[in-house]
Structure 1
Amino acid sequence: MSNFYWGIDLGGTKIECAVMQYADDHCVLRKRLPTEGEQGYQHVLGQIKKLIDQCAEEVGEYPKSVGFGTPGTLDPATGNMKNCNSTHLNGQPLDKDLQALLGCPVKLANDANCFALAEATLGIAKQIKPDAEVVFGIIMGTGVGSGIVVNGKVLNGCHGIAGEWGHNVLEANGAPCYCGKQGCVETVLSGKGLERYYREHSDSNLSLPSIVSMASQGDKFAKQTIDRMHSYFGLAVASIINVIDPDVIVVGGGVGNIDSLYSEGRDAILPHLFNPTLNTVLAKPALGDSAGVFGAAMLVK
């Protein structure tokens, strides 16, 4: 019987492996290699194999199965990857190729799903509400991603896109999104979206942390940007609560570091909520950059 369960976080610039101990979920080894995606799909597969072999040598055991967090989704209809910003993965039967390469079963999930799974089972949701049935994990950074965990399991959905909250239309006739629509949650509430809004109204180009700081100092356009963020965050999150009614919503990414999301942003949810009170807990993540690779490992625990 194996002592460990394994996860790989397949990122655009790095591939990270975590080897976790069954007995106590302790991480006994974390190791990284560069992805080098510009060298193509087969090269990336080779990097994954090299990393697995190096880790197996260090822990003295080859994996019986491996969970993978990926920058896109495996389409249940075609068996191929889709929606990957690491475009060399799109259209590839990644799970089948990995199983053949590694000689063991693999399980894939979107990186936002892995974030949600880790925070639900090992991170902040487990700490503050260990009996939580439904956890919704949001990554609000350069883009916006999210995942749903129900009773400790990732919800994938019929099309493999469960939790794709970032591509619901939030602002009619808003900014164009790479997905082809306009005004998606991602265009409004991502760090880039907030910075763009400030730039368009102030003619100044500031980073999001600077905009937050300027808002606290009374800058008119910075305050307008942050107030708008609160309002749209409330509207967008209320739709999630009305549909899946999560116990905990974990908000990661750079935008999730803005403290006022958990006060003014939370207050902005209630006017759009079907329920007269809001009992869902909004929380910052506990696992930092470990969440993705830990969540990948949890896929095969």
Structure 2
Amino acid sequence: MSREEKYRIGIDLGGTKTEAVLLAPDGTLLDRRRQPTPLALGYSGVIDAVAAMARHAASGVPSGHDCTIGVGIPGSIDSVTGLVRNANSTCLIGKPLQRDLESHLGRPVGVRNDADCFTLAECRLGAGAGYGLVFGVIMGTGCGGGICIDGDVREGPHRICGEWGHFSVDPFGAPCYCGNRGCVETKISGSGVEASFFRDTGVELSMDRIVAGAREGEPRCKAAFERFLDDFGRCLGGLISLLDPDAVVLGGGLSNIEELYGAGVARVRHYAFHDDLCTPILKNRLGDSAGVFGAAMIGAGRE
């Protein structure tokens, strides 16, 4: 049986939720599950949960048929050591996640960065389809990026291609878990905006409440939201000046903030190195499940 004829399992391991899908060889969605990511249980709890979701999905594969398994993670696997690095779910850092999953499941497992999975899915099935060079952005608990060229995601020799979230834009900014200061992720991720709001006001408020408060005219929320939009413009405008993509696709929970496509795009135009910027900045079409479909596309299996 060829790879194209196999069933595909995709798992998106996020900082907040983990989702699994089972796809038929023709792409039909056969099963879908979502549950909170058990970060409080530590690395072993996360591995157990992902393996259990993979087994459940595999139980739906008809007898006599094989499947591939792919997992998207908020980080990457070091090609030399096989250990996770650069993960905003920090309990994964330095752990042999791919090897451990393969040991639990007794079969090969493909693992890629979640932003790569998101970008791949959106470029093949979603908003990025038909564009040559696409930069995919995930703005959620963290902030990541991926680059797709003519339908294939570029990974790079260090597996960090598109790692926009850890580009330092403010050397005097807030410390990032990666060891630098003022990374894009500290500016325009949900956790970054929430942390900034707490430093400024001493009040713990979720990103949803900050956005809602800004829309209602609450002064502190409005100031935080305006800074968020300006940081979005500066960060993405600089990226467009560097890469000049045919399109940008936004994903993650924050991509649902409608102001990004109005005032946010205006800020991007202000900061990009062009006086007539025409780069489409598009909302994803596959919703917050784009990453799990991309994971299914990169899955490894018995050949």
Place the TM-score, normalised by the shorter chain, in its bin.
Answer: 0.7 to 0.9
In structure 1, the gaps of 5 or more residues are none
Q: 2:71, 2:112 within 8 Å by CA — same for their partners in 1?
A: yes
Counterpart of 1:26, as a letter, is T
CA distance in 1, matches of 2:175, 2:45: 33
Q: 1:170, 1:236 within 8 Å by CA — same for their partners in 2?
A: yes
**Partner in structure 1 of residue 207 of structure 2:** 208
SS at match of 1:7: strand
1:42-121 equivalences in 2 (<5 Å): 45=47, 47-61=49-63, 63-87=66-90, 89-99=92-102, 102-121=105-124
1:216: how far off? 3.5
Judged with a 3 Å threshold, the aligned counterparts in structure 2 of structure 1 residues 16 and 259 are, in CA distance, closer, same or farther, namely closer
CA distance in 1, matches of 2:198, 2:50: 40
In structure 2, the gaps of 5 or more residues are none
For 1:135-191, what per-residue CA distance to the aligned partner results, in whole angstroms no more than 9, with x for missing partners?
222222222222222222222122211222111112230111111111111112122
CA distance in 2, matches of 1:26, 1:203: 48
Q: 1:169, 1:185 within 8 Å by CA — same for their partners in 2?
A: yes
TM normalised by structure 1 equals 0.83
SS at match of 2:135: strand
**Partner in structure 2 of residue 174 of structure 1:** 173
Tell me how many residue pairs correspond in the alignment. 296
SS at match of 1:178: coil
SS at match of 1:68: strand
1:237: how far off? 0.5
User: Does 1:189 pair with 2:191?
Assistant: no
Judged with a 3 Å threshold, the aligned counterparts in structure 2 of structure 1 residues 105 and 170 are, in CA distance, closer, same or farther, namely same
**Partner in structure 1 of residue 249 of structure 2:** 250
SS at match of 2:185: helix
Counterpart of 1:21, as a letter, is A
Q: 2:16, 2:141 within 8 Å by CA — same for their partners in 1?
A: no
**Partner in structure 2 of residue 9 of structure 1:** 12
SS at match of 1:59: coil
Counterpart of 2:134, as a letter, is V
CA distance in 1, matches of 2:21, 2:53: 10
**Partner in structure 1 of residue 140 of structure 2:** 141
Q: 1:33, 1:47 within 8 Å by CA — same for their partners in 2?
A: no
Root mean square deviation of aligned Cα: 3.0
CA distance in 1, matches of 2:201, 2:117: 37
Judged with a 3 Å threshold, the aligned counterparts in structure 2 of structure 1 residues 221 and 100 are, in CA distance, closer, same or farther, namely closer
Counterpart of 1:55, as a letter, is A
CA distance in 2, matches of 1:152, 1:77: 27
1:261: how far off? 1.4
For 1:252-287, what per-residue CA distance to the aligned partner results, in whole angstroms no more than 9, with x for missing partners?
233322222111111112233233322221122222
TM normalised by structure 2 equals 0.83
1:217: how far off? 4.0
**Partner in structure 2 of residue 156 of structure 1:** 155
Judged with a 3 Å threshold, the aligned counterparts in structure 2 of structure 1 residues 60 and 91 are, in CA distance, closer, same or farther, namely same
CA distance in 1, matches of 2:105, 2:267: 48
Judged with a 3 Å threshold, the aligned counterparts in structure 2 of structure 1 residues 54 and 265 are, in CA distance, closer, same or farther, namely closer
Judged with a 3 Å threshold, the aligned counterparts in structure 2 of structure 1 residues 248 and 51 are, in CA distance, closer, same or farther, namely same
Q: 1:170, 1:232 within 8 Å by CA — same for their partners in 2?
A: no
Counterpart of 1:185, as a letter, is V
Judged with a 3 Å threshold, the aligned counterparts in structure 2 of structure 1 residues 97 and 178 are, in CA distance, closer, same or farther, namely closer
CA distance in 1, matches of 2:152, 2:101: 22
Judged with a 3 Å threshold, the aligned counterparts in structure 2 of structure 1 residues 206 and 65 are, in CA distance, closer, same or farther, namely closer
